[in-house]
Amino acid sequence: MSMLLDQVVPFGRSRREYELMFNLSKKDLIKRILGCGDGPASFNTEMTTDGYSVVSIDPIYQFTGQQIKHRFEENLDEVLDQVKTTPDCWTWKYHRNIEDLRRNRCLVMDRFLADYETGCKQGRYRIAALPDLPFRDGEFELALCSHFLFLYSDHYSEAFHVTSAIELCRVADEVRIFPLLTLAQHLSPHIAAVREAVASGGIKSTIETVEYELQKHGNQMLRLFRS
């Protein structure tokens, strides 16, 4: 357990953050949505409350809510300290400042935890991991991947990114990935390879600017779609 929980910090974002990161329109919201690597985001619970359809997958769903919360609490101060010591790297738009960021991350975690057990029973939180997803071809209309692919480019290879993107395109009509920056705030070196690989399967790609920005210049998403 600690191995997986050590690799990627389980921080979660809200529905409003997902809407801004992925430029979600009213038409997008009514689609059958897959949240890939959703972790402790409150996107699923907030969308479900309003009657929308979201299935979230993440390998951390093999753990209990208490275990996920513990890992989050263990990391929170360290991550926020890193933000504090690198002030030039952040843009305060959605979150007003570091304290607001802390409050928002804790609120999201509380919302996720309140829904987690019910959501697991309803099949809305499912244990699965890229690059192999347990879904039929085209089972979803839209797949969203926030803060996993590209962000962890130093931990996951180009081949992993390519295979994962192809798998997401298999299970969903359209895929959106945000951000395109790595943890070190460089443009991911895997973007070109992903775009070339999906293009050879007839899938188009565009890079779009979105309203959300926390990592400075981290306001772009990759959209993969069949025309």
Ligand X SMILES: C[S@@+](CC[C@H](N)C(=O)[O-])C[C@H]1O[C@@H](n2cnc3c(N)ncnc32)[C@H](O)[C@@H]1O
| # residues near ligand X by CB under 6 A | 19
* Number of CB atoms found within 10 A of residue 136's CB: 9
Residues 10-29 that bind ligand X (CB under 6 A): 10-13
CB-wise, 94 or 148, nearer to ligand X? 148
Residues 33-52 that bind ligand X (CB under 6 A): 36-39, 41
Q: How far is the CB of 30 from ligand X (least distance, A)?
A: 21
CB-wise, 12 or 218, nearer to ligand X? 12
Interatomic CA distance for residues 193 and 190, integer angstroms: 5
Interatomic CA distance for residues 1 and 13, integer angstroms: 22
Phi, psi of 14 (to 5 degrees): -90, 170
CB-wise, 10 or 119, nearer to ligand X? 10
Sign of CA dihedral 147, 114, 92, 176: positive
Residue 124 near residue 56 (C-beta atoms within 8 A): yes
Instruction: Select the span of 22-30, 73-81, 146-154, 187-195 touching ligand X (CB under 6 A).
Output: 146-154
Residues interacting with ligand X, by CB under 6 A? 8-13, 36-39, 41, 58-60, 129-130, 146-148
